[in-house]
Amino acid sequence: MKNKHLKVFLDGTEFDVEVQAVDAHGLEVSVNGRLYKVEFEDLDEAALIPVIAPTAPAGPGGPLRAPMPGDVTQVMVKTGDEVGVGQELLVLEAMKMKNVLRAPRAGRVAAVDVAAGQSVAHGDVLVRFEE
C-alpha cells in the first residue's frame, strides 16, 4: 500500500502526518514520528472498505510473467522506474476482466517487454527487473 503523507497546520503548528496502515477497524498514523492507532467506531459507508493489496508471493527473483493469456490494455511503468512491492505495473484484460498486475518485489524496472494492445500467452515475460 502506498503511504499517505500529509502536512497538517493546526493553530499555526505544523504536524507531519503519515497514514501507515488502514483496515476495516481503524488505521495507524504517525504524527511527528510517533505512531498512533486509531479505531473507527461509528463510521460507516465507503470509509470502511479495507484497502489491501494482495501479498505478493515472495518467490525467487526473475521477471513478471503473464499469469494467464490475455490482452495488455494499459502499461503504467517504464524502463528505469523504481517500483515498490504491490505497485500497479500493467493491466491485462483476460476472461472479460481487467486484471491489475502488481510488482512482485521492489526494484528498478530494467525493461518493459510489452505495450498496450498486445496479446500475451501464459508465462510471457512482461516486465524485467534489475538484479
Partner 1 sequence: MSKRTDPAPDDRLDELESKRRQAEQAGGEERIAAQHKKGKLTARERLGILLDPGSLNEIDPYRAHRHHAFGLDEQRYPGDSVVTGFGRVDGRMLAVYAQDFTVLGGSFSEVQGQKVARLLDLALDAGVPVVGLMDSVGARIQEGVYSLAAFSELFWRNTQASGIVPQISVMLGPCAGGSVYSPGLTDFVIMAEGSNMFITGPKVIETVTGEKVGLDELGGAGVHNGISGVAHFAAASEQEALALTRKLLGYLPANNAEPPPRRAPADDPQRMETALNSLVPGDPSEAYDIRAVIELVFDRGSFLEVHAGFAQNAVVGFVRLHGAVVGVLANQPMVKAGVLDIDASDKLARFIRFCDAFNIPLATFVDTPGFLPGVREEHGGIIRHGAKIVYAYSEATVPKLAVITRKAYGGAYIVMSSKYIRTDLVYAWPTAEIAVMGAEGAVEILYADKLKGRPDKAEAEKDYVDAFRAEFGSPYAAAASGHVDDVIRPEETRPKLIAALELLRDKRVPSRPRKHGNIPL
20 vs 99, beta carbon nearer partner 1:
99
10 vs 47, beta carbon nearer partner 1:
47
Count residues contacting partner 1 (CB under 8 A)?
32
Euclidean distance between CA atoms 72 and 50, whole angstroms: 27
Q: Which helix (H) or strand (E) holds 21?
A: strand 13-23
6 vs 49, beta carbon nearer partner 1:
49
10 vs 95, beta carbon nearer partner 1:
95
DSSP, collapsed to helix, strand or coil, labels residue 47 as: helix
Which amino acid, 6? Answer: L
Euclidean distance between CA atoms 86 and 2, whole angstroms: 9
Q: Is residue 2 at the binding interface for partner 1, with CB under 8 A as the rule? A: no
Distances (CA, A) of 60 to 15, 55, 57, 63, 118: 40, 15, 9, 10, 27
Q: Is residue 115 at the binding interface for partner 1, with CB under 8 A as the rule? A: no
Over the window 47 to 76, marking each residue x when it contacts partner 1 by CB under 8 A and - when it does not, the resulting string is xxxxxx-xxxxxxx------xxx-------
Of the candidate residues 98, 106, 108, 130, the single one contacting partner 1 (CB under 8 A) = 98
CB of 68 to partner 1, least distance (A): 5
Distances (CA, A) of 61 to 90, 105, 131: 19, 8, 8
Q: Which residues bind partner 1 (CB under 8 A)?
A: 23-25, 44-52, 54-60, 67-69, 93-100, 122-123
